[in-house]
Chain A
């Protein structure tokens, strides 16, 4: 390090010491921005973004979800296995099976050329 560089770095150090509070604020803001960047990257890359109905424009979907929400206790993992226990499971499972097969979710129909009024050629 030559004399000129040494004088410059000493000057910079003096400036930092002189404005300690401002330096602290700038560093704190930079750290906060970096952490926000990491959080948003995780929010996007994990797929949480796609499942977040609190985004603007999803008010209708949000209402539907709230309306449909109900508590389902499920089947107990403890206890004996006998005819009554198996019957209980059968009843619970059949109800969910009915829900699962009730609709043809994500069918290709919605994005066909015909549905968007585009001729095939």
Chain B
């Protein structure tokens, strides 16, 4: 009886241990052709240089866009919403766009962190020695950049939406005077 319990315990322990060793992968490793491997190796140095440059220009772009988006929200959208409310005017639609904009900004912020981490990993891969690992890291970075680009586009669209909503408000206000 005791032996049976020990065996069961051992089986459970092995099962738990094997579960711990199964590490989820972001995506299955892509197999690349020999032609691609050769091209990665051939253009390794120039690609690393251009990726480094991209890393720097993206850092600048992120700060620049971030400042612009915060300025639009904190120094234009929010003050107008507050002023409309203080004057007892209906700015409900404008408030809702501002809220959506701030939520989207949080996504943009997080997506940039993910992208930058992926790009830093890509830059750390030696493309001459490990072309397959380099290509897989490139795919991860590309995916992260796509998500970042989408959240950036969504922010720009919300800035446009706010302007359109403001134009409607302006026309309605002028007509009511």
Q: Which of A's residues lie within 8 Å of B, judged by CB?
A: 47, 50-51, 53, 57-58, 60-61, 64-65, 68, 72-81, 83, 85-86, 89-90, 92-94, 96-97, 99-101, 105-108, 110-112, 115-119, 121
Given contacts A61-B56, A61-B63, contact A50 B78 (CB under 8 A): no
Nearest first, the 7 closest Cβ-Cβ pairs linking A and B are A74-B75, A77-B79, A61-B60, A77-B82, A106-B149, A50-B116, A47-B113
Stretch at the interface among B2-10, B12-20, B21-29, B158-166: B158-166
B93 within 8 Å of A (CB atoms): no
Q: In the complex, how many residue pairs between chain A and chain B have their CB atoms under 8 Å apart?
A: 145
Q: Give the contacts of B15-63 with A (CB-CB under 8 A).
A: 33, 35-36, 39-40, 42-43, 46-47, 50, 52, 54, 56-63
B121 within 8 Å of A (CB atoms): no
Verify B47–A116 contact, CB threshold 8 A: yes
The prevalent SS among residues of B at the interface is helix
B135 within 8 Å of A (CB atoms): yes
B82: which A residues are within 8 A, CB to CB?
A: 77
B74 within 8 Å of A (CB atoms): yes
